Amino acid sequence: MTLAELTRLYGRTWAIAEGIGGGWYAVRRADMSAYGLEHGLSNIRCGATLPELARRLDTETRLENQPWRHVPLRAARHNT
């Protein structure tokens, strides 16, 4: 996996760069909603290598594309 290949696959959604101390990271171009974050999505993904980062971005994409069921964080309160 090369940086060009990774950018071609994920560059519309993620800004991908080499880490200062080594490794690679990807930052979402548009922040994920709080609802998405509650469902395990992230605004930043890291990998020691480009193939590792590619696997993480693939997982992120699969999570985004699965149907989510909204579960209330708190039970609704009724005033009587």
**Contact (CB, 8 A) for 28 and 44:** yes
User: Can you give the pTM of this predicted structure?
Assistant: 0.79
Q: How far is CA 25 from CA 20, 38, 47, 73, 75, in A?
A: 10, 21, 6, 31, 38
Q: In tens digits, what is the pLDDT along the chain, a chain of 80 residues?
A: 899 999 999 999 999 999 999 999 999 999 998 888 888 899 999 999 999 999 999 999 998 888 766 655 555 555 54
- Return the pLDDT at 73: 56
Distances (CA, A) of 13 to 9, 17, 44, 69: 9, 13, 11, 23
Q: Where are the domains of the chain?
A: 3-65
